[in-house]
Structures are given as C-alpha cells and as structure tokens.
Structure 1
Amino acid sequence: MTLIPTLQTERLTLRAPQQGDYPALAEFYASERSHFVGGPQTHAQTWRTLAAEIGHWHLRGYGRWAVEETATGAFCGMVGPWCPEGWPEPEIAYDLMGGFEGKGYATEAATAALDFVFNTLNWKTAISFVAPENHASAALARRLGAQQEGTFDLGKLGTVNIFRHPKEARI
C-alpha cells in the first residue's frame, strides 16, 4: 500500500483524497463546470471517479491530491500527477471546485505537484492535457512554464492540446 504524502504550500494543504471529499466532487461532476474533465456525470459515476483517484496512488505510486484551504479546511479541488490506462505519459492534472477560482490556488497547488514529481519522483518532464476551449487551463499551463507541443485524442474527451512541463523550466 502506498503512503500518500501530504504537501503544504503557503495557503494550501495537498492531502490524500478521502470519502469526505465526495459531496463536493459530486456537486462538481454534476455541473457543467466539469465538462472539460469528463462530466457531467451521475453521483454513482463520481463515486467511481473518487475511488479511481485513491486507487491510482496504489497502482502507480503517485496520484492527485485533494486540495484544501489550510486556514478553513475547505475542499478546493484535485491536483497532481495522473496517468490512467490509455494516457501516453503522465500528466499534471488540475480541477478546482466552484468558488475557488481566481485566487491562485490552482497555480499554487500545481507548482507543488510539479516540484514533487521533479524533485521526489525524479521525472524529467510531464504534460497537461487541455481542451482547446479551456482558456483558463491553458493560461495556467503557461504560467507553470509549459509550452504547447501538439494534440492527442483522448477518446470520450476528444482531441486535446498537449502542454509540456520540462524539468529545466523549473530550475
């Protein structure tokens, strides 16, 4: 069983996903806000999504963290390395729950995730998949130092842009 590390940033705690995150995830995945990441979906599908997030850590040895505001304990989203079956290589994926955008939380959490994969897992690179219409996600990838390098067909999610995060950009 993989021990899921906890990461701290200035304002956020990145911790293991847990059952208590389900209500906020169910609300997110039931909304149109989730359409770039496979939603909307039913509550039963969201339960499976949460189980996949937790299981990914045990199958791959890494995964996405639940992100919470340290000061309030509020669940903000999911951020971290992700590589389910069918992905060509690991990505840094990020989803924020409604009401937490515009605060820099995605940048702060994704920066911590990138530092972890480059410095702890010794990755040389990572990607982020971004739907062509998801301008906010593309802007975040660029803020993180990524450059667009092509496209990939993610099946149900359609053709997405690939943004490359090279380790050298973080040094």
Structure 2
Amino acid sequence: MTPALDIPVLETERLRLRAPCAADAAAFEAFFTSGRSKFVGGPVEPGRPWRILAAHVGQWALNGFGMWVVTARGDDAALGLVGCWAPGDWPEPELGWQMFEGAEGRGFAFEAAQAARRCAYGRFGWTTAVSYIDPDNARSRRLADRLGCVVEPDAPTPRGEPLLVYRHPAPEALAP
C-alpha cells in the first residue's frame, strides 16, 4: 500500500515552502551537477539529480516529514531546499538547507529554516534537531550560528563522516 503524502505548505513573509515535484527536476539537475553541491555529496553525474529529487519525495512517504522546496511567494521557481532529513543511517533527524544559484546572501535560508524548525518542533513533534555541516562550509556554519545552534563535538555523525554537529535550541527555548 502506498502511503498518502501529507506535505504541509509553510509560508513566511517572503517565502513559500512546498512539496518537491517533477517540475523541480531542472533546478535539481543544475544544482546537484554543479560544484555548488560539493558540501552535500556533489557534484553528481547528469541524470542522478532525478533520483535525488525522488529521494526527497520518498522522505515524506517513509518518515512523514522531509525537505521542502523553497520558493519566493508569488513565484514557483525553486530557490533551494530546507527542512527535515533522516535517512535510515543518520544518528538522528537533521534540519538541513541547500540554496540554489542566485538564492544565497538574501536571508532566504534563515527565514526558511526557522519556519521548518517550527514545523518540526510543532507538527512533527521533534524535541531536538541537529544540522550536520562540513567544517569547510563557512556559510552554513554562519547560518547555524545565526539560528542559535551550538557545536556538540562528541555527537555522532552520519557514517562517521568528519562533520560538525550543530544542536538547535530546544523547542521551549524558542517559545515566544
């Protein structure tokens, strides 16, 4: 039996976070075959981004949560991916982000990550979240700092990879 996908749409002042769909294939291809994807396993060979897109949809089907495609309100073009990620071999669920060409440096990742974290802590019932970040990814590290995360030097990483584990503030620490 195929589970029905219940993917919420999140909106912020400037952004809309929506389900990944086939129309995003070209944006995935452009990002994941370029050097911009070096911190998330890329670049990959042409054609493989379609399978990456399918894996993102699969996270929603298998886990009941996943990453959203970030768009500007009023424009459905993909700006990046932000949200929840938990492959079977991850030590714990991750809040992650990947911004596509032209979308960095405008505060979109910060705005989208805050919305995704609120949903993870609220609707999905998470009590904690981490972000696994390559030590050389300065932009991502700055974003984690801006989100109030702290490095946990002894926390396990996926497959023992040499990543930094940034712990997000607990839900009660973020309550207004």
Contact preservation (8 Å) 1:152, 1:161: no
How far did 1:68 drift? 0.5
SS at match of 2:49: helix
Contact 2:157 2:165 in 1 (8 A): no
Aligned counterpart for 2:77 among listed residues 46, 64, 74 = 74
1:140 to 131, 138, 143: 143
Compute the TM-score of the two structures, normalised by the length of structure 1: 0.94
Partner of 1:49: 52
Partner Cα distance (1:55, 1:126) in 2: 20
1 CA distance for matches of 2:127 and 2:158?
23
Q: For the Cα contact (< 8 Å) 2:90–2:157, is it kept in 1?
A: no
- What are structure 2's unaligned runs of at least 5 residues? none
One-letter amino acid of the structure 2 residue matched with residue 111 of structure 1:
Q
Spell out, residue by residue over 1:1-39, the C-alpha distance to the aligned partner (whole angstroms, 9 max, x if none).
Answer: 121111111011100000111101111111111000010
| 2:122 is equivalent to residue 119 of structure 1 | yes
Work out the CA distance in 2 between the residues paired with 1:106 and 1:116: 15
Contact kept? 1:152, 1:160, Cα under 8 Å: no
1:119 Cα offset (Å): 1.4
Aligned residue pairs total 170
Deviation at 1:120, TM superposition (A): 1.3
1 or 2, which has the higher strand percentage? 1
Q: Deviations over 1:108-160 (max 9, x none)?
A: 000000000111122111000000000110111111111111254434x9310
- The whole-number CA distance in structure 2 between the counterparts of 1:138 and 1:56 is 24
**2:171 is the counterpart of 1:167:** yes
Cα displacement (A) at 1:73: 2.5
Q: Could you say what secondary structure the match of 2:125 adopts?
A: coil
Q: Percent identity?
A: 42
Structure-to-structure mapping, 1:78-117, within 5 angstroms = 78-117=81-120
